[in-house]
Amino acid sequence: MQKFKVTFFPDNLSVTVEQDKTILSAAISAGVYINSSCGGDGICGRCKVVVKQGRVNSQPNGIITAQERKNNVYLACLTTIHSDLDVFVPDSSRINFDKLTPEELEERLSGLYSKSEDVLPAQENFEDKFFKHSPFATKIYLELPEPTLNDSVSDLERLYRALRNFGEFPAIETGLFNIRQLGELLRDYAWKVTVTLGRRNDAVEIVLIEPGDTTGTNFGLCFDIGTTTISGQLVNLNSKKILGTKATYNQQAAFGSDVITRIVYAAKTDGLEKLHNAVSDTMNQIIKDLVSECQVDLNNVNCIVCSGNTTMIHLFLNMDPSHIRRQPYVPTANFIPVLRASEAGININPRGLLSCVPGVSSYVGGDITAGILSSRIYQKEAPCILIDIGTNGEIVLGNRDFLVACAASAGPAFEGSGVTSGMRASSGAIQKVSINKDDFAVKYSTIQDKLPKGICGSGYIDLLSEMLKVGIIDKAGKIKAEGRRIRTTDTGKEFVVCFKEDIRSQADIVINEADIENLKRSKGAIYSACAILVKHLDLEFSAVHTIFIAGGFGTYLDIEKAINIGLLPDLPHSKFIFIGNSSLAGSREVLLSNQAKTMADSLALKITYFELSVNPEYMEEYSQALFFPHTDLTKFPTVKF
């Protein structure tokens, strides 16, 4: 097979690939990240590149316009390589893998923008002292009595005996590696050692034996593995102090933007391996950054707890996810036993342990268990709702007596995928919008006040609400007004949010009727899932005490506008609490407390999974929700347009 050299500009990165490979796969090999929301099916049109030199072969598609064809624009995923190539990758086709800035993180992880004032930062909601401090890994300093003729038990038994003085351990185990070095270690260091104990399923494992007293340096990690964003925290297990938090985009995005596309990709040759590597690479990068910034020795990081949706956990652990998407939707495992982190390719102490917060079903994962844990809805007397809004919207309704969860396929529109000018909530994303009712002039603000590059989920909520308010769109989501900013294209009408001249960009930032339809379906799916769950339990929304909103979506959410478009039920704003990344908070609790871990296990067993797809009423509810705010206006009495 002939091989060709492909060079990507302006990166000037080259890679040699076989003939007939696609430009997209060459880009992945070269480490150039090109957008590909559809996973390389030629549907999303996000991977446009310019072939400056060389011969290619491209499948026909309806996405490249005649003008673009003249300019040698191709879809990277449908274009195969037939000679050495020079390829230019425009900014608009790139995935922005920049790490989140501290400010962005601040907002992402704790909180929260809302026009209404009733917003609590994440930490306040999580009573720190609730669970007894009993971290996943504990260090104990031991001074062993030297053996004598009267006390001649073996070195290992001597160690066990000393440990038992600290408590009733069900069973203690350790690896051969530790036993081999034990004799010499004890004698060299005057019988003074520190053992690191890890909880491993029902036993206690001696993870590590070190000379002297090192109890002061015991660290752990917690992670939220999201479909879009991966967040990690480094925690001092002795003081419970959070030393650092970092988040970055999940590099799996290069293989598709939603879990289903990724499951499909995993079935391709080497697909699962690539997805697994993408997530473990991302996590290792975060870990590396955290330990170096906090000046912590990697060898003192002894354990890690992860939560994520069921698919993400499967991909992270390199387990086959294919049955998740096939009826009857059965995952390989919901409860993952404690493993060695190195088995999952995570670089911490080579003998360090890994635990995953247990999931409930294929579409309600450990992130939800963690969310329930950290929001404490399982303790509340009055029924509460937890909404975790992501590509799969997950909803939990319950209190201390019961917990019912369902998952609604909301689609990635609110995460900025599958919409014309959509982008993730990162630097340069429009997040707040107001529109003048007379001339439709748009006022907006962007994340970090950069020039706008696109619109993120919260920006879309504001935009829809404002467009309804000033009468640009009707309640069905069709553009009805006319003006300088409204124009008709081949695909229908669109509203120009920013003209390209004003933002020094190649393209206008627009929202068209198809985008609105997409967003309408997303908000409809989430609202109707909540409504069905409430109805199924014979409750009314008014009986719900508090609604916790979690997820990257809730980051800059304006409650009033979210109610205006019918995403959230019309309740007093004081009933809504944004809890930011509840999955990360929950996994931190599991990291720090064995009680929390036991609680998470029992919660995952206690949660009743409610399958919406077999519920005949869901379609009916969903159809009613495909209107702004809702076909039944009496459900949204405070919304007036």
Partner 1 sequence: METQIVLEKWPGVISTVSIGATKAEGGTRSNVVKIGGQTAMPLLFREGVIPNKPKIAFEIWDIAPLDFDEELLCAYGKAIRDPFAWAEVCVNDYKAELLCLKMQGTHPDFGNKTPQDAAKFVSTLLHKVKVPLVILGSGDDFKDNLVMPVCSEAAKGERCLIGCAVQENYKTLVASVLADGHNIIAESPIDINIAKQLNILISDMGLALERIAINPTIGALGYGLEYAYSIMERARLAALSGDKTLASPFICFVGQETWKTKEAKVSPQQGIIWETLTATSLIQSGADLLVMRHPQAARNVSKHIEALFRE
> Which residues of this protein are in contact with partner 1, per CB under 8 A?
474-476, 478, 480, 623-624, 626-627, 631-634, 641
Q: Specify burial of residue 516 (Cβ count, 10 A radius: 0-12, 13-18, 19+).
A: buried
Residue with tokens 């096939």: 326
Least gap, CB of 474 to partner 1 (angstroms): 5
Nearest to 335 by CA among 184, 243, 201, 232: 201
Residue among 188 and 632 whose Cβ is closer to partner 1 = 632
End-to-end CA distance of the chain: 64
CB of 620 to partner 1, least distance (A): 8
Taking the CA atoms of the chain, what radius of gyration do you get in angstroms? 27
Q: Which is nearer to partner 1, 220 or 477 (CB)?
A: 477
Q: Give the count of beta carbons closer than 10 Å to the beta carbon of residue 199.
A: 21
612: tokens are 């919406």
Minimum gap (Å) between residue 640 Cβ and partner 1: 11
Which C-beta is closer to partner 1: that of 202 or that of 540? Answer: 540
What's the CA angle centered on 610, arms 609 and 615, to 5 degrees?
A: 160
Min CB(524)–partner 1 separation in Å: 11
What is the enclosing helix (H) or strand (E) of 304? strand 301-308
Output 14 or 624, the one with its CB closest to partner 1: 624
Distance set, CA 221 to CA 54, 290, 317, 603 (Å):
48, 10, 17, 22
- Cβ closest to partner 1, residue 584 vs residue 626: 626
Of residues 597 and 630, the one with the C-beta less far from partner 1: 630
Identify the helix (H) or strand (E) that includes residue 519.
helix 513-536
Residue 621 beta carbon to partner 1: minimum distance, rounded to whole angstroms: 10
On whether the CB atoms of residues 355 and 136 are closer than 8 A, the answer is yes
Q: Cα separations (Å) of 136 from 40, 235, 600? A: 41, 11, 13
Tell me whether residue 70 or residue 640 sits nearer to partner 1 (CB atom): 640
Q: Which amino acid is at 368?
A: I
Nearer to partner 1, 453 or 523 (CB): 523
What's the closest the beta carbon of residue 252 comes to partner 1, in angstroms? 37
Residue with smaller CB distance to partner 1, 12 or 634? 634
Smallest gap, in angstroms, from Cβ of residue 370 to partner 1? 37
Among residues 138, 165, 121, 225, the alpha carbon closest in space to that of 593 is found at 138
Looking at the chain, the number of H-run helices and the number of E-run strands are: 17, 29
Least distance between partner 1 and beta carbon 435 (Å): 18
Provide the minimum distance between the beta carbon of 639 and partner 1 in the complex, in angstroms, as a whole number: 12
Q: What is the DSSP code string of 319-356?
A: ---GGGGSTT---S-SSPPPEEGGGGT--SSTT-EEEE
